[in-house]
Amino acid sequence: MSTHELYTRPAPTSTWNVPLTGDARFTWEYDDGRDRLLALYQKGKDRQWDSVKRIDWDLEVDPHDVLGVPDQALAIYGTPYWDRMGERDRGELRRHSASWQFSQFVHGEQGAMVTAARIVESVPDLDAKFYSATQTMDEARHVEVFSKFLQEKIGMVYPINTNLQGLLDETLRDSRWDMPYLGMQVLIEGLALAAFGVMRDMTTKPLPKQILAYVMQDEARHVAFGRLALRDYYRELSAPELKEREDFVVEGCYLMRDRIRGREIWENFGVPVAEVDEMVRNSPYMRAFQSLLFSRIVPCVKDIGLWSDRIQATFEEMGALDAARSDLDALMRQDEEIAERLDAERFAAEEAERKAEVDAVIADEIAQGAASS
């Protein structure tokens, strides 16, 4: 089945063409490079995985309760719009909400795949080219995973959010080699990583938990890559050059904040956009969710040296400034450990199940042998 048959509204059948500017940079320096970046590259090679084999796609998913999270997570919960809904409509709303979230994930991951390939082309250092090549493969796998989940388990796809598309456009059009890092590795990937984490920790359903945990194991490396590459470079920039990057961060953060309101969902249920924005502002869950979504971006922006009063005021207005105290390295280690622990638990359970089956067969054979004698 064509994906276009699953879209909630018609999506363009032609490709979205973004004109690219800037240079493709070759280097003839093949030395060892930076140790931490090469260590990330080695980890990127070691941690490649096959989504067909690692994820249990036989697990059932209820499309009307994809994540198994409380209904309070829906912005209209407790409003007259919610009260007027029957259980069937509420189930359909849960389906649309999950579809919208995972649809933006798959669109963002395709953007990350294209941007990582762009970084291979434009970044001047060979060690960064090495790592970006492994990230391009990671992002291709993520697109594969999320698109399969949408098509086979939810059966519905939303078009790309205009705010996400706008930030991707600005990121890819910029001719400066560091801007794909800043737009994708710091802003888009940072927000996605936080969103994945909230959903991974909240979901009670095994298949989305597997998908999110394993994707996050990759994404933790990607955000670390952006930090390493930009931290050194931004120390060399002048005050006007840093201000240009800070302006980009501020604009990008507002785009990302507006994106999570999910206006496209509510339009399908007859809720006016102005009321949606008000409900999102008044929802305790959505306010907490927004704050958590910037938990990876804020410390990363601070770490790479973009920490002017204006940047801090922007995060304060968004209710996310406290995230500056987060230990980003500890969060990344936790993301990797959760994926490894999930693997260990799954494979231990599978091994115990196989052992029980073997023991049952042996016991049956012994019983049959005793009966025949």
% of the chain beyond a pLDDT of 90: 53
Q: Answer yes or no: are the C-beta atoms of 189 and 223 closer than 8 Å.
A: yes
157 beta partners: 7
* 46-58 average pLDDT score: 95
Q: What is the reported pLDDT for 369?
A: 66
pLDDT band, very low/low/confident/very high, at 204 (cuts 50, 70, 90): very high
Distance from C-alpha of 212 to C-alpha of 231, rounded to nearest angstrom:
28
Supply the pLDDT for residue 353. Answer: 67
Residue 260 lies in a domain: yes
As to burial, measured by CB atoms within 10 angstroms (0-12 exposed, 13-18 middle, 19+ buried), residue 316 is exposed
> 203: alpha, beta or left, given left = phi > 0 and alpha = psi -120 to 50?
beta
Asked whether 144 and 50 are in contact (CB, 8 A), the reply is no
For 327, list phi and psi in degrees, rounded to 5. Answer: -90, 100
Q: Pick the residue with more confidence: 175 or 150?
A: 150
Q: Is residue 188 part of a domain?
A: yes
- Residue 85 sits in which domain range? 34-334
Residue 9 belongs to a domain: no
Say if 125 falls within a structural domain.
Answer: yes
Tell me if 127 is assigned to some domain.
yes
Output the pTM of the full model: 0.88
* Residue 18 in domain: no
For the stretch 136-148, pLDDT in tens is 999 999 999 999 9
Highest mean pLDDT among 201-205, 221-225, 251-255: 201-205
Q: How many domains does the chain have?
A: 1
CATH of the domain at 44: 1.10.620.20
44 in a domain, yes or no?
Answer: yes
Distances (CA, A) of 87 to 80, 82, 119, 156, 291: 15, 10, 47, 19, 30
